[in-house]
Chain A
């Protein structure tokens, strides 16, 4: 589904990713760990074309990322960032924002579906009328997750999405992603999130230094 083959990303003279190779198959849930500045977020955003690799190839569904398919890749993937950007003044408008784009117009969700997703994430329907700048960080994060779920994609790129969530909200998010038949490439330091994933990579200074099926082993090795 998603494959990195010896990918190097540079920013001016800094190497952000150095010869990174990995593969996430359909339905797999994998997780990247590592210290701050080790290249985790760069890796996730490179999947969706935020960086052009200086070397190596990024493939999505066996096709190398290019100017021709970048739009369709972005339209097939849901990206949930570390600090959610809602991009609208009202929560409802933020949720509906992707459906104002031509690519998603046909899949505009009915209000029952919106309410259903909000309920699954322990969000009250009254939040829809609230201003996005008055809701808490945890609520913002769940609104961003709700928006990603409403898009109905089966590939998720998730950057620390349980950070800042209380125990109840976190359980709700974990439950949703555990049950979903989807592919997830994630970054997390949250042991609860580790329970969802089947493979773990440890990144250090832009390189993958260890891979394991258990988070404990990968962190210990590193």
Chain B
């Protein structure tokens, strides 16, 4: 049941942009001061996605192992910097540590999914490798922001409690355990909720895209299940590894939290 993808003509795209007049009018009438941000967001989205179309087109045409790997490394670097900026930790202290954590977690899961389960021809086919890595990385990014921010902010806030654990004879790994559990629970909650309501509350983007692209819904659903499992696995691995790898940088030689890890 393969169909041609229905393209949207430029004039029809204008029609879709025209829909934006409705929220714009509502905001104007109700004097909601978001019109500037609204325009900026629409322009940014359009430009960014146009650029994505250009570079994905380029990468798909070249389809070289090295270009794909370089692109993945670039995506990991961007994810790494975004996680650190959003979690309020110093970029210079944590960049290499987090890079290793994200790379291990993401590449392991993407490797299993693309190289062992999907097995495209060639194995490094950009059409599979790049979007799958992007989806996994995007979700890991969100989870890692939550886990790192929660982990270090909670220890900082409960410094006395943390110190009490150490003074009762806990090793660093024993003392951080309650905070690690809380951080991972918070980081995984959105993915668990999404998985539990998938198909009932929302039709996921990947599956919808494949169906719109002419795929058999059964195939699209298999891909969606695979990608959700990959996202969940990579989220747990990267969140746990990143906290684990960051410990050496974050605690002084007496195992007390070093406050200079926080940016600003």
Contacts and interface: CB of A to CB of B under 8 A. Distances in A.
Interface in A7-53: 45, 48-52
A168 interface: no
Contacts of A97: 165, 168
Contacts of A100: 174
Contacts of B169: 71, 74-75, 98, 101, 103-104, 151
Nearest to B163: A50
A50 B168 CA distance: 13
A52 B161 contact: no
B61 interface: no
A62 interface: no
Interface in B166-181: 166-171, 174
B86 interface: no
Given A101-B169, A103-B169, A70 B160 contact: no
Contacts of B254: 49-50, 52, 65, 67, 70
A28 to B, nearest CB: 21
A101 B167 CA distance: 11
Contacts of A79: 164, 167
A151 B169 CA distance: 10
A81 B160 contact: yes
Interface residues on A, range: 20 to 34
Interface string A51-66: 1100000000000011
B168 A98 contact: yes
Given A74-B167, A79-B167, A98-B168, A85 B160 contact: yes
A154 to B, nearest CB: 14
B174 A101 contact: yes
Given A87-B161, A87-B164, A67 B253 contact: yes
Interface size class of B (residues with CB under 8 A): 10 to 19
A39 B254 CA distance: 20
Contacts of B92: none
Given A74-B169, A101-B169, A101-B174, A50 B256 contact: yes
Nearest to B255: A70
B194 interface: no
A220 interface: no
A45 B163 CA distance: 9
A67 B255 CA distance: 8
A160 B236 CA distance: 44
27 contacts: A48-B166, A49-B254, A49-B255, A51-B256, A52-B253, A52-B254, A65-B254, A70-B255, A71-B169, A74-B166, A74-B169, A75-B169, A81-B164, A85-B160, A87-B161, A97-B165, A98-B169, A100-B174, A101-B169, A101-B170, A101-B174, A102-B174, A103-B169, A104-B169, A147-B168, A151-B168, A151-B169
Given A49-B255, A51-B256, A74-B168, 12 more contacts: A50-B256, A52-B252, A67-B253, A67-B254, A70-B254, A75-B169, A81-B164, A97-B165, A98-B169, A98-B170, A104-B169, A151-B168
Interface of A: 45, 48-52, 65-67, 70-71, 74-75, 77, 79, 81, 83, 85, 87, 97-98, 100-104, 147, 151
